[in-house]
Amino acid sequence: MRAIDALGPYPFERLRQLLQDIPSTHESFDLTIGEPKVAPPALVARTIAAQDQDWNCYPPIPGTPELREAMHVWLCRRFALAGLATNFDVDPTCGSREGLFLLAMLTRFCAKSNNVQKSSRHNLIAMPNPSYAVYAGSARIAGAETLALDTVAGAFPTPDQLDVDILADLRLVYLCSPDNPSGNILPEATIRAWITAAYKHDFIVASDECYSELYAKTPLQGILAIAARMGTDQPFDHVVCLNSLSKRSSCAGLRSGLLAGDPKLIDMIRKIKSFAGNRMPLALQTTSIALWQDEDHVQIIRRHYQENYVLSNCLFADQPGFTPVQAGMFLWLRVNDDIEVTKHFWREGGLRVLPGRFLCEPEQIAPGKHFYPRCAGASCA
């Protein structure tokens, strides 16, 4: 019960409580949730409608071989991994949230290697601060302590900035690039440093890349591609990535994602899922295959975001501290008081935005006068 009590309310519930007694006479316009506003490709409805014979069947927990193959081929094509196709494994997830949660649960059962220095502290899971609330929530449910790594200044810390005792306690670090909420893109050197530290100190590096296909100009690198270039015998040891069709294909309602990387970790995740995992319906697996195999609709969706990046960067160019949007779907605006700005936007314009502090670890938030409301402005039609 203590782990559940430590969760506290989800950020959107905190926002509801904040605004519930503030009247607004304007039509409500919700910019809080990272929900795509571009219509899904027509092939989704068409493919689901054609799958009317499998609803009586239990779907295989690891997904069909055809789905795993489609995801594997996409990863190899997108991140130039063809020469290492047999070195990594891939597993379907019901959205990236399931994979993020299962990775945290995995830390309860994976002991540190005997040749790695350990301390007497509890399991430690690190994450960006601010970040997607599921990282901290999953860690707490798994009984781990959280380490919030401050990214407000724009630079994600590297392992050499942490004490050796902290690295010894780490079981898992969540990376996110492009970042939610800031849109920052992690430099390759930073990702390499975390992979190297994971090898040395025996922890998992999980890269959340759900926004990887939404970018302004240059295709973004993934952690698997970076690990492959490091030239080790087992390039994907301790390394996994997560992606999904929610943003890439504007299909958040499909709940279809992937977890890929270290075959040993993927195998352990499958064992957990055998007892407690979700099963993606066969019709949705077939639809997912069609989406992973098609890039035309992804280009259409990406152009929508790129047009909004240009518009947003023009509208907010004079905003102090504004950083032009490079990727992702959020505007991350610096203000003096994110709570008061959130109330003002709602009261005077009917706009619902999310105070940035609601995405921070409260006890670890750095003092300072600037806070950031998160606005899903880049996704709007």
Residue 119 banded pLDDT, cuts 50, 70, 90:
low
On whether the pTM is more than 0.75, the answer is yes
Secondary structure of residue 39 in the 3-state scheme: coil
Residue 375 banded pLDDT, cuts 50, 70, 90:
confident
Q: Residue 370: pLDDT above 50?
A: no
Q: Residue 116: pLDDT above 80?
A: no
- Concatenated DSSP letters of 6-22: HH---HHHHHHHHHTT-
The pLDDT tens digits for 270-309 are 999 999 878 999 999 999 999 999 999 999 999 999 999 9
The length of the chain is 381
CA distance 256 to 245: 6
Q: Which amino acid is at 305?
A: Y
Residue 55 banded pLDDT, cuts 50, 70, 90:
confident
When comparing pLDDT for 225 and 111, which is higher? 225
Question: Where would I find the H helices in 93-212?
Answer: 95-106, 133-141, 164-169, 188-201
* Mean pLDDT on 324-340: 89
- CA-to-CA dists, residue 317 to 5, 216, 230, 352, angstroms: 42, 16, 38, 22
- CATH top class, domain 2-39+296-379: alpha beta
Question: Domain extents for the chain?
Answer: 2-39+296-379, 47-293
* Mean pLDDT on 261-278: 93
Tell me which architecture the domain covering 47-293 has in CATH.
3-Layer(aba) Sandwich (3.40)
**Radius of gyration in angstroms for the set of CA atoms belonging to the chain, rounded to a whole number:** 21
Q: Which residue has the tokens 């200044």?
A: 153
